[in-house]
Chain A
Amino acid sequence: EVVLLESGGGLVHPGGSLRLSCTASGFTFSDYPINWVRQAPGKGLEYVSTISGSTTGGQRAYAESVRGRFTVSRDDSKNTVSLQMYNLRDEDTALYYCVKDMFVPWGAFDMWGQGTMVTVSS
């Protein structure tokens, strides 16, 4: 069974930093792209970031709204992807989902975690 478990959410002040983690199991982790998607309260889904799998060299991509402030990384030895978030803003407040691509090297998002909540507030 594929499982994605996010952690690291919490309350942070504007301008602060936070690191989210996603630990996965049930599939050949290193092969698959892993993504972060967020949903602000009362809003729709927003794509945040992708890190590709080993077959494509762990390439990184970011939405324009977070580029330069967020950094995604992966540790295939621990089946973990991290999202380091810097210079957080009020508008980064959201439920952050860790999501797996359906296929290698890329595909639709077939498996989602339950999310971790990030609240940016003074």
Chain B
Amino acid sequence: EIVLTQSPGTLSLSPGERATLSCRASQSVSDNSLAWYQHKPGQAPRLLIYSASIRTTGIPDRFSGSGSGTDFTLTISGLEPEDFAVYYCQQYGGLRSFGQGTKLEIK
């Protein structure tokens, strides 16, 4: 089972700033089968990025994903007020697993 470790646990930033979220896998993620989700209280999680770097339809281009193998990054350029939420990475190449999440909060 692949263990995903996200950092930082909490990220405090202001609107307009750039957010960089990290996800490290305990072993290589096959076919870069790595996704990022946004989760807000009282809502179902929303898929942002799949295959490490492909934005889902309707996701603003300020969200971008990168990385391969064991190291992946979600970047949000120019934070909007609605971007403050919890973000999870997930690998789906084998037995699926999630990271523990990064809380993006307003500074």
Q: Which residues of A line the B interface, CB within 8 A?
A: 35, 37, 44-47, 50, 61, 63-64, 97, 101-102, 106-110, 112-115
Q: Which of B46, B47, B98 contacts A45 (CB 8 A)?
A: B98
In the assembled complex, how far is the CB of residue A45 from the closest CB belonging to chain B, in whole angstroms?
A: 5
Question: A64, B90: Cβ atoms under 8 Å?
Answer: no
Question: A113, B95: Cβ atoms under 8 Å?
Answer: no
Question: A45, B50: Cβ atoms under 8 Å?
Answer: no
A-B contact pairs, 9 of them (CB 8 A): A47-B98, A50-B96, A63-B95, A97-B44, A109-B35, A109-B37, A109-B47, A109-B90, A113-B44
Return the CB mask of B36-61 against A: 1 if under 8 Å, else 0. 01010000111100110000100000
The answer for the CA separation of A110 and B56 in the assembled complex, in Å, is: 9
Inter-chain contacts of B1 with A (CB < 8 A) = 63-64
In the assembled complex, how far is the CB of residue A100 from the closest CB belonging to chain B, in whole angstroms?
A: 10
Nearest-CB residue, chain A, relative to B57? A110
Nearest-CB residue, chain A, relative to B46? A112
Q: Which of A47, A64, A97, A102 contacts B96 (CB 8 A)?
A: A47
In the assembled complex, how far is the CB of residue A87 from the closest CB belonging to chain B, in whole angstroms?
A: 21
Interface status of B14 (Cβ within 8 A of chain A): no
Interface status of B77 (Cβ within 8 A of chain A): no
Nearest-CB residue, chain A, relative to B1? A64
Known: A107-B50, A108-B92. A47 touches B44 (CB 8 A): no
Question: B90, A44: Cβ atoms under 8 Å?
Answer: no
Question: B96, A45: Cβ atoms under 8 Å?
Answer: no
